[in-house]
Amino acid sequence: MFQLNDTHPTVAIPELMRILLDEEGLTWDEAWEVTTRTCAYTNHTIMSEALEKWPIELFSRLLPRIYQIVEEINRRFQNQIQTMYPGNQEKLRKMSIIYNGQVKMAYMAIAASFSVNGVARLHTEILKHQELKDFYEMMPEKFNNKTNGITQRRFLLHGNPLLADWVTSKIGDEWITDLPHIKKLELFAEDEKCQFEFMNIKYQNKLRLARYIKENNGIDVDPRSIFDVQVKRLHEYKRQLMNILHVMYLYNQLKDNPDMDMIPRTFIFGAKAAAGYKRAKLTIKLINSVADVINNDKSINGKIKVVFIEDYRVSNAELIFAAADVSEQISTASKEASGTSNMKFMLNGALTLGTMDGANVEIVEEVGADNAFIFGMSSDEVINYENNGGYYPMDIFNNDQEIRRVLMQLINGYYAPDNPELFRDIYNSLLNTKSSDRADTYFILKDFRSYAEAHQRVDKAYRDQAWWAKAAILNMANCGKFTSDRTIEEYVKDIWHLKKVTVEM
């Protein structure tokens, strides 16, 4: 069978039909029966722009025979819709595979697959009741959830050998092939000796990352500071912008009050932006510009450092996950399908600072809200604003002088003295002064105060090292659900229907 992992391989559907029709001589109905029993589709995103759409002109010119087959798939699917919803032209328009000069690859994947799954429970529910509501109502039996997972063998055993050895010394090595066994660590969460050992291992890993940062970025960071980390693909919905705006806000507070009582904080970013994604690249530029100012300001006594890890990849990610104290998972609620960095950080004993989005929801269920720092609007609140309006970021700008000050620094040359207009597009995007988009599409200003308050809770909590160590160990102990072994078993049992093969090690 074919597991269509996102919309990118969807053209496999008409290509399989072409082979069965043109080369194997099957009838359409015979070929369709084989194809629809062979293909299953995994949806990896709620963002509509990531659900591929190809212009008919390009598709039909490059793949003329494939396009003929797509047309026939669409014609027959439209007949199904009309049979089920007679006279409902709105359904026909909204569900058509070919519409408005484009081929909608996700819709073809749903029509031709026997299984359609999301990758976290909240994601799947949003697909069923929001983004793909019409398809779910027509064929509910296809939809199911398979929450993503990560491999503990890469991200703990290989990536963090000090911590892996410590875990094995406490509970044995069964966790390596059966991660739920890590639950046994709960027994050690309140043990003072174990807490000290854990924090010492974390410190050694922070020293390792600090050396990497010095060698690659030329920045001295304090391994005794809180390592506050956000590493992931750069996209506006993931809100790296909110993170750096908060850094600017903290810096303003420090400049106004250099003796402010705060635990030193090292903000670490790692991200890559898509080649043509101008605003994402501008956000990276902003992060680096803020870093240049803050890291060279001796008046704040090193209380804040900002680091952008270049060329973020698995090999340096292992250093980062092992060293992190705080895992920033701050996407706009309802926008992140799942996320997996949240799981990697959890496995390595970092505490989540995040929204109730994607797999964060399930992480909080496993470890308890008391062992994470949750903030921001719920997915229902976000969706309500999107559907009904009522959010006016300019009101926040006009009434919150600290937020106003941060935003004005985007356009007054504070972080770009040679080009004061450099970050104008970011400013415009938040306030819609000269933008065709809705102002602050991803509710950065709406969630900002809640986000800042969550950071204050982090600062307060980190002062109690025993509590922090306990919470970190509990995070590790409750990450058993998030192994990719479990995810793959669910695909095997529910979708692929394969027999398990035991491999002797």
Query: Could you list the active site residues?
Result: 44, 232-233, 238, 340, 344
The CA dihedral of 25, 28, 31, 32, to the nearest 10 degrees, is 170
Phi-psi region of 194 (alpha: psi -120 to 50; beta: other; left: phi over 0): alpha
At position 473, the amino acid (one-letter code) is I
Name residue 117's beta-bridge partners. 42, 144
Separation of first and last alpha carbons in the chain: 28
Distance (Å) of CA 239 to CA 135, 371, 425, 442, 451: 30, 22, 15, 8, 11
From the list 293, 233, 310, 306, the residue with the least C-alpha distance to 267 is: 306
Residues 198, 187: Cα–Cα separation, whole Å: 14
CB 254 within 8 A of CB 300: yes
At position 98, the amino acid (one-letter code) is I
- From edge to edge, which strands make up the β-sheet containing 226-231? 304-309, 265-270, 226-231, 326-329, 351-354, 373-374
3-state SS class at 55: strand
Tokens describing residue 223: 């391994």
Residues 505, 497: Cα–Cα separation, whole Å: 24
Residues 424, 403: Cα–Cα separation, whole Å: 16
Name residue 313's beta-bridge partners. none
268: phi then psi, degrees, rounded to nearest 5: -115, 125
Sign of torsion over alpha carbons 60, 64, 68, 70? negative
Tokens describing residue 439: 């102002």
CB 201 within 8 A of CB 406: no
At position 111, the amino acid (one-letter code) is A
3-state SS class at 352: strand
